[in-house]
A and B are shown apart, each in its own frame.
Chain A
Amino acid sequence: MKLPFFALLKIIMEGKSSIRFLLGAIGSFAFSIAVILCTVGLMDGFESTLVSSLQKSSGDLILTSRNGFFHVDEEFNKITKAPEVKHITPLTQVEAFFIFKGNSKGVLVKGVEEESFKKVTNIDLQFNNGGIVIGKSLMESLGLAIGDEVVLTFASNSRSSQGSPILKSFVVSSSVKHGVYEKDMRYVYLKRETLLDTLNYNPDTANMALIKVNKIKKIDELKAIAFDLQTELPDKYRIETFWDEFKVLLDAVEIEKMSITLVLQMIVVVAIFNIIAFIIFISEKKSQELFLLRALGLNLKTLVKFWYQLLLSVWLISSLISIGLTYIFNYLLTSLPIFQLPGDIYVLSRLSIDLTPVDFVIVFGLALVWIFIIGFISLGRLKNKTLLHGLRQEFS
């Protein structure tokens, strides 16, 4: 006993009110799914943009010493011979105050060796005549221009100076953009030898090194490489991946993403109310037709199949529309100035939606589960009413 899906649909969807109701239900359901997709996608986008921006200025791995400072000596140079290591650059990093026209800011001063630093990070620093290179946001916030003279104030480690700071003037040679607001606002670069000389440190002193590894397929492979290197190196060295510095933030984003996905299910539930209303509307308004078809020979199995096909179609169409809405939102997000985020709040100035197949499966899967729960309950209403009861009630 079969009646084609579309023939049955034509009977059930007869009348403008039914079609409008169905379109409204599909629209709201699609919008709800799109909201969840956009939110999850934004968080994924935040995470991936942050990770790639971090990698730009940090290389792949970060080497530090458990003793704080270490010497760039024979032992250190052995690291470069490790098979995983492609390039390595030593850094001397200290905190300082940046002073310009009476304004001061706490900064992280990085003494680098330009050539090896460029090989590891792809950042080309131009120290003209012993000048410094500063983050773009720092430059803008203090209204600095290239050629301006600024003062860096370092803490002194000399007993004779009784704790008084070391002040030294530098000329701003250029600015650098890392893609991470926090770095653009805090990082100041100068030649390592200049920094060591200013602080009166030994010429081979460093407290950090950045490592570029040989080609990897996936970023997660870095964890294994870091582990391998750690076992090969003397105990005093510590190897971390470039994102470990922001690990807490990235972990928080991951947890937040899962929590928000679950919380946003409430939006789907709200949209489900529209589907429920539609199902009740159809089952009440069209019960005459349904009971008559049953009386004429439509079996319950075919009716149940049609019911689920209808719900599956609603879900499928809503899901497809939601993908479209998500792409539209992503386009607006990446192209309209109104959607530019304040970098000082969100660390990154512009985000895009980045969705993985897993995200789609989770969001669409949960929506499907909801719609089938509702379909099952509503179908129970029809099943529980006997044919005779239904006919008498509907046609009396």
Chain B
Amino acid sequence: MSFIEVKNVFKSYGSTEVLRGISFNIEAGAQCAIQGMSGSGKSTLLYILGGLDQAGRGEVVIDGKNISSLNDEALAKFRNKSVGFVFQFHFLLPSLNCMDNILLPAKLGNFPIKDIKKRVHEFAETLGVSHCLNKFPFEISGGEQQRINIIRATSLKPGILLCDEPTGNLDSKNSQKVVELLKDISSKLGTTLLVVTHDTVVANKFTQKITIEDGQIIS
């Protein structure tokens, strides 16, 4: 049994069919790029995998759990414990400093803050953003914000790391760094990495690729 099983997933918004019978399997610890043009349905697929949205038809089974049948409370728990999100926009809350932003998932899930803090300091040291932890998001650069975002996404060692255009706001040099960073972290944590991108250069960094066009997998 694969770690992620997507079986004949359909999704519509009104009369617009965004996903049309998507099916694939991904093994645990794999690193995969989901590539496609804007509007192809790749982000929708990613959000369905992350429990942010529900499939209209079909099944999404992650680690043996059918997330299509979960209620709101169970889905929230799933998002908190099993999924790490890295969005194109860093989504850091301006009222909290970087450490508090990173600790949000831990607080939401009632995890032991002391242990998580220790891990955060190690990650921050590795990513070179230790000096940012007590600063507010507006006090640090865009690249640093993205790295803080990555630390938040991986702070609870999730089973899946889902990244939606993580390099969308970065130049090519920083894009390359971020992709390497994501691959490196997921390897170390044994996390399954899924990166959605429209950028072929970024997609080519991954050995496993899924290409979507008009809501269907073409390769």
Contacts and interface: CB of A to CB of B under 8 A. Distances in A.
Interface of A: 1-3, 7, 10-11, 14-15, 288-289, 292-301, 386-388, 391, 395
A2 B76 CA distance: 11
Interface of B: 44, 47, 50, 52-53, 72-73, 75-77, 79-81, 85, 87, 89, 91, 93-96, 104-105, 107-110
A283 to B, nearest CB: 16
A299 B75 CA distance: 8
Nearest to B108: A297
Contact of B108 (A10, A14, A296, A301): A296
Nearest to A296: B105
Chain A to chain B: the 4 pairs with minimum beta-carbon distance, closest first: A297-B80, A14-B95, A299-B76, A388-B53
Given A289-B93, A388-B44, A395-B87, A295 B109 contact: no
Contacts of B95: 10-11, 14-15, 289
B30 to A, nearest CB: 23
B96 A294 contact: no
Contacts of A386: 53
Given A10-B95, A293-B104, A299-B76, 18 more contacts: A1-B110, A2-B110, A7-B107, A289-B93, A292-B93, A296-B104, A297-B77, A297-B80, A297-B81, A297-B105, A298-B76, A299-B73, A300-B73, A301-B72, A386-B53, A387-B52, A388-B53, A391-B52
Contacts of A297: 76-77, 79-81, 105, 108-109
A299 B72 CA distance: 6
B72 A11 contact: no
Given A292-B91, A292-B93, A298 B108 contact: yes
Given A1-B109, A293-B104, A386-B53, A301 B73 contact: yes
B89 A395 contact: yes
A280 to B, nearest CB: 20
A310 to B, nearest CB: 16
Contacts of B91: 288, 292, 395
8 contacts: A1-B110, A14-B94, A295-B52, A295-B85, A298-B76, A387-B47, A387-B53, A388-B53
A3 B87 CA distance: 22
Contacts of A298: 76, 108
Contacts of B47: 387-388, 391
A23 B87 CA distance: 35
A79 to B, nearest CB: 76
A347 B8 CA distance: 83
Nearest to B109: A297
Contact of A295 (B79, B93, B96): B79
A174 to B, nearest CB: 74
Which of A2, A14, A295, A395 has the most chain B CB within a 10 Å cutoff? A295
Nearest to B105: A296
A293 B79 contact: no
Nearest to A388: B53
A297 B95 CA distance: 19
Contacts of A14: 93-95
Contact of B77 (A292, A299, A387, A388): A299
B77 A1 contact: yes
A2 B104 CA distance: 11
Contact of B107 (A3, A294, A295, A387): A3
A295 B80 CA distance: 8
A300 B72 contact: yes
Contacts of A7: 107
